[in-house]
Amino acid sequence: MEEEAELDDLMGAEDRVAGARKAQMPKARAFWHAATRGRYWPATVAVALVVVGVLIYFAVLIIAGMFAGIVE
C-alpha cells in the first residue's frame, strides 16, 4: 500500500514538471518570433544554428570518447 502511495507521489511530481515545461513553451515561442521578426533576423538564425552545432559537436565528442575509453 505504501509503495502505491509513493508511486502516485512520483507520478504527480512528474506531471507537475511536465506542466511547468508546457507553461514555458509559449514564452519561448514568443521570444523566437520576436527575435526573428526584426531587421537582424539572419543573425538570430545564424547564432541559433551555431549554438545547436556546438551542442551536437560536444555530444558526438562525448559519445566518441566513451567508445574510445577516454571518458569513463
Mean predicted confidence (pLDDT) in 24-53? 87
Instruction: Mark whether 46 and 33 lie in a shared domain.
Output: no
Looking at per-residue pLDDT, the higher value among 23 and 66 belongs to 66
* pTM score of the predicted model: 0.52
Range of the domain at 8: 1-37
Cell of 44: 538570430
Instruction: Examine the pLDDT at 31 and tell me if it is beyond 60.
Output: yes
What is the structure's pLDDT at 54?
Answer: 98
Our count of domains for the chain comes to 2
Instruction: Mark whether 12 and 33 lie in a shared domain.
Output: yes
Please tell me the number of Cα atoms within 13 Å of 22 on its side-chain side: 6
Averaged pLDDT score across all residues of the chain: 78
SS3 readout for the chain: CHHHHHHHHHHHHHHHHHHHHHHHHHHHHHHHHHHHHCCCHHHHHHHHHHHHHHHHHHHHHHHHHHHHCCCC
Measured between alpha carbons, how far is 47 from 30 in angstroms, rounded to an integer? 17
How many percent of the chain have pLDDT more than 70?
67
Instruction: Mark whether 18 and 1 lie in a shared domain.
Output: yes
